[in-house]
Amino acid sequence: MHYARTVHLDTDFATTVDRVREALAAQGFGVLTEIDVTSTLKAKLDHDMEDYVILGACNPSLAHRALDTDRSVGLLLPCNVVVRTEGGRTAVQALDPGTMVALTELDALRPVAEEATRRLDAALASLTTRA
């Protein structure tokens, strides 16, 4: 199962994180959580790794519609977006909202997943078109 939607950018990590936040906001997503995986693994395990952050993005309207369909779908929310360095570039990955339908097997979630996909794809596309 393909579960990630990915773009690669030639911008530095910190700039990319800021741009991802802006792109998500432009599509109606707020960032509810931010997990700095790099710092956490260093602090807890003394493990060094590349820059890696997980942003928990939420579009309240879409979340409400999904939760009205199935309360357990909250296990798959918010929409996680990963920003990480990969070689000399920065990767931005969003969980494919279609995964929500595939995992739950609830066709009633399909319209929510499709709208979330359109919005996340627009956010990702804006990152690649902006200089």
pLDDT tens track for 8-38 = 999 999 999 999 999 999 999 999 999 999 9
DSSP state letter for 97? T
Mean pLDDT of the chain: 95
Q: What is the pLDDT of residue 2?
A: 80
Reply yes or no on whether the pLDDT at 127 is more than 90.
yes
Q: pTM surpassing 0.75?
A: yes
Segment 53-70, tens digit of pLDDT: 999 999 999 999 999 999
Tokens, residue 3: 């579960």
Q: What is the pLDDT of residue 1?
A: 53
- Chain-centroid distance, C-alpha 54: 8
Beta-bridge mates of residue 30: 58
Reply yes or no on whether the pLDDT at 112 is more than 80.
yes
Mean pLDDT calculated for residue range 69-97:
95
Amino acid found at 94: A
- Chain-centroid distance, C-alpha 81: 2
Tokens, residue 127: 């990152």
Beta-bridge mates of residue 98: none
Pick among 3.40.50.1860, 3.20.20.70, 3.30.310.70, 1.20.1080.10: CATH of 4-129 = 3.30.310.70
C-alpha 112/C-alpha 123 separation (Å) is 17
Domain residue extents for the chain: 4-129
